[in-house]
Amino acid sequence: MAEELRVTDGLSIPMHEIELRTSRSSGPGGQHANVTASRVEAVFDVESSTALDEVQRNRLRERLGPIVTAVAQEARGQARNRELALQRLAEKLAKGLATRRRRRPTRPTRASRQRRLAQKRRTAERKRARRRPTQDD
């Protein structure tokens, strides 16, 4: 097994900072006669991590909370579920650390404003046509 979990190009988390818990699976591998603990839960404590800088720690704490977990129990074997749980943990952390692009404010084009107003006029006319005729008509 690798010594570090690769999250992004610039960030790897040492495996000793990730706690791997095993338990009996409810799905495949949890039901055969020689019962195995094939369900794996990867737990990462954001607060006590030495791999993260303060900005990353705050961002993860804000978006994912102080403790990030990922669970895998699809495979029959514990080894495969460990791989899946670590992969899911890395994906969660990468998504939590991603910086969102700022929205560039835009204005509606003249054509889109005209289309919107034309649609409003058609809708108003359709609703007007549904009304009961007045004394004037």
Taking only the tens place, the pLDDT of each residue in 92-102 is 999 999 988 99
**Residue 14, strand partner residues:** 4
Give, to the nearest 10 degrees, the angle between helix 54-64 and helix 78-97. 110
66 located within any domain: yes
Domain count, the chain: 1
The fraction of the chain above a pLDDT of 90, given in percent, is 64
21 located within any domain: yes
User: Of 8-12, 51-55, 71-75, 118-122, which has the strongest mean pLDDT?
Assistant: 118-122
129 located within any domain: no
What pTM was computed for the model?
0.69
The Cα-based distances of 35 to 26, 28, 32, 94 in angstroms read: 11, 11, 6, 34
Given pLDDT bands bounded at 50, 70 and 90, which one contains residue 31? low
116 located within any domain: no
Asked if residue 23 has pLDDT above 80, the reply is yes
Largest CA distance in the chain: 87
Which two tokens mark 16? 């000793």
